[in-house]
Amino acid sequence: MTEKPEIKKRIFISDLELRQNPGNIPENAIISPLSRDWMDYEGEVAGGRSQVAGRKPETSARPEEELRKQIVEIGRRLYALGFVPATDGNISVRLGDGSILITPAGVSKGALAPGDLTNLGMDGRVISGKKPSSEYRLHLCVYKQKPGVMAVVHAHPPLATGLSCAGVALDQPLTSEMVIALGAVPLAEYATPGTDEVTESIAGLLKDHDAILLANHGVMTCGRNLETAFQRMETVEQSAKITLAASLAGGGRLIPPDKVRELEKIRARLGL
């Protein structure tokens, strides 16, 4: 008779638990993807505080070449979804030295190459590469106000942008996904694209939000990595579709307030 392999009890560690007690994570813990991103970020920017219980982080800080490839990949996905037609939209990531990589002006996000990207200092100075996207001020504003953010995506997904033209924010609890994955998405006041007006319009909203509708313009999302920022953009457009469908069908019935509080607890537990 063969012996059954021993199954060790494994403990799931949320992003919040890791932040609250970073030096005491058990060896057999399962660390959520978001927690790993945070560990990567800490290791990359803050000098290796991501060491947990005597073992190395499961993933290391991503090198610049890999981040360049990721921006190209996300550009293709945004273009394929119809979120960035023509030369619309822009994408950036924060590098370990505090500068950013951002897409250049006037280039289709569906046809980017890794070498096309611009390296920009936090003062807006071009370190290397082509002329940056005209919305670089928006990106710098997000990185300055949100130290945990490693990636910013700005796009013009048609339904979310349409709602922004109608003055409709995505801040009503219509689906659990909207509450858990996104939280309320506010509508920033109209600002002329590519000017400091854009940063002024979002500055007061950044503290509490990772996704913002820009009136008569588009959407900004950010996150601890590029994939998260991209997925938030997808979820914003999905939420816009659902909001529109509910409106066409006679108006949405909102999730009851006590149930919204339950969902908000789940969101906090997941560290979203």
Decide: is 157 part of the binding site for Zn ion (CB under 5 A). no
Query: Hey, what's the torsion of the CAs at 135, 212, 160, 189, to 10 degrees?
Result: -80
Other Cβ atoms closer than 10 A to 265? 11
Catalytic-role residue among 17, 135, 234, 237 = 135
Least separation in angstroms between residue 217's CB and Zn ion is 5
What gap in Å lies between CA 101 and CA 124, rounded to an integer? 11
- Among 165, 166, 161, smallest CA distance to 239 is for 161
Least separation in angstroms between residue 155's CB and Zn ion is 8
Q: Which residue of this chain has its Cβ atom nearest to Zn ion in the complex?
A: 218
Residue among 157 and 218 whose Cβ is closer to Zn ion: 218
Decide: is 132 part of the binding site for Zn ion (CB under 5 A). no
Binding residues among 193-232 for Zn ion as defined by CB under 5 A:
218
Q: Binding string, 25-44, against Zn ion, x = CB under 5 A?
A: --------------------
Least separation in angstroms between residue 46's CB and Zn ion is 32
- Among 187, 155, 170, smallest CA distance to 247 is for 170
**Biggest distance spanned by C-alpha atoms of the chain:** 74
* Token pair listed for 121: 């200092």
Least separation in angstroms between residue 165's CB and Zn ion is 13
What gap in Å lies between CA 89 and CA 39, rounded to an integer? 29
* Residue 17: active-site member: no
| Non-local CB neighbours of 17 within 8 Å, separated by 6+ positions | none
Residue among 57 and 218 whose Cβ is closer to Zn ion: 218
Give the residue numbers annotated as catalytic, written as ranges: 135
Interface residues with Zn ion (CB under 5 A) are 218
